[in-house]
């Protein structure tokens, strides 16, 4: 029996991972497997660089689209897959492989969920996480200073030169195509109740 495929998309720092955890809890953690598109980032050495020779991780070409789509097809078809778990700045030798098993529900999460045609067409239900950009930037500054060792100046540079332009070009245009727009602001509580109700009717 084909699994039910839920997609979660949104800009950097929009709250995709937090929403994912709430959806898993709603549907039953034992019934859900998570397919994270972040696990398909290509090595830093082959990433595109901007005019100032700074690596741009916010382009669709930053990911290994071919392998990503191949693995997604496998797990949808009922095959367990092995993926290299992505951690920013982790040395190549420290990257570990994790297993993702087929399940009743598979949640696919990532920036370019809608941009990659093969991924988009595999979805049964799609969610776009929407939030005020100023909150996204604040979350990104907090995260990248703590976990990635970036200075505030570097984070703001990436935000203005990479994140925002790429978001406007590769992510935002697909918002109208989402089955559900989750407003991650003062409406979050109401939207979560609506979303849970809708997802339960589809199981």
pTM for the full model?
Answer: 0.91
C-alpha span between 201 and 203 (Å, rounded): 6
* pLDDT given at position 203: 61
Residue-wise pLDDT tens digits, 29-43? 999 999 999 999 998
Domains in the chain, start-ordered, CATH in brackets? 4-201 (3.40.50.300)
Contact 140, 159 (CB under 8 A): yes
| Cα separations in angstroms, 187 against 84, 137, 148, 175, 190 | 36, 19, 31, 17, 5
Q: What is the DSSP letter of 176?
A: G
Residue-wise pLDDT tens digits, 158-202? 999 999 999 999 999 999 999 999 999 999 999 999 999 999 887
pLDDT band with cut points at 50, 70 and 90 for residue 136: confident
């Amino acid at each position: 029996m084909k699994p039910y495929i839920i997609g979660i998309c949104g800009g950097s720092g929009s709250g995709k991972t937090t929403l994912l955890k709430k959806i898993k809890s709603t549907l039953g953690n034992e019934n859900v497997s998570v397919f994270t598109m972040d696990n398909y980032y290509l090595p830093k050495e082959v990433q595109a660089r901007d005019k100032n020779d700074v690596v741009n991780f916010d382009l669709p070409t930053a990911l290994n689209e071919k392998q990503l789509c191949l693995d997604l097809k496998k797990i949808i078809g009922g095959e367990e897959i092995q993926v290299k778990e992505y951690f920013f700045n982790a040395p190549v030798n420290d990257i570990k492989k994790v297993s993702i098993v087929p399940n009743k529900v598979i949640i696919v999460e990532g920036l370019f969920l809608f941009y990659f045609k093969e991924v988009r067409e595999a979805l049964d239900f799609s969610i776009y996480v929407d939030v005020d950009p100023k909150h996204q930037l604040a979350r990104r500054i907090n995260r990248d200073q703590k976990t990635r060792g970036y200075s505030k100046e570097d984070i703001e540079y990436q935000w203005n030169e990479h994140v925002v332009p790429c978001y406007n070009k590769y992510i935002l245009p697909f918002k109208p195509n989402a089955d559900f727009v989750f407003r991650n602001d003062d409406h979050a509580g109401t939207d979560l109740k609506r979303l849970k109700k809708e997802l339960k009717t589809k199981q």
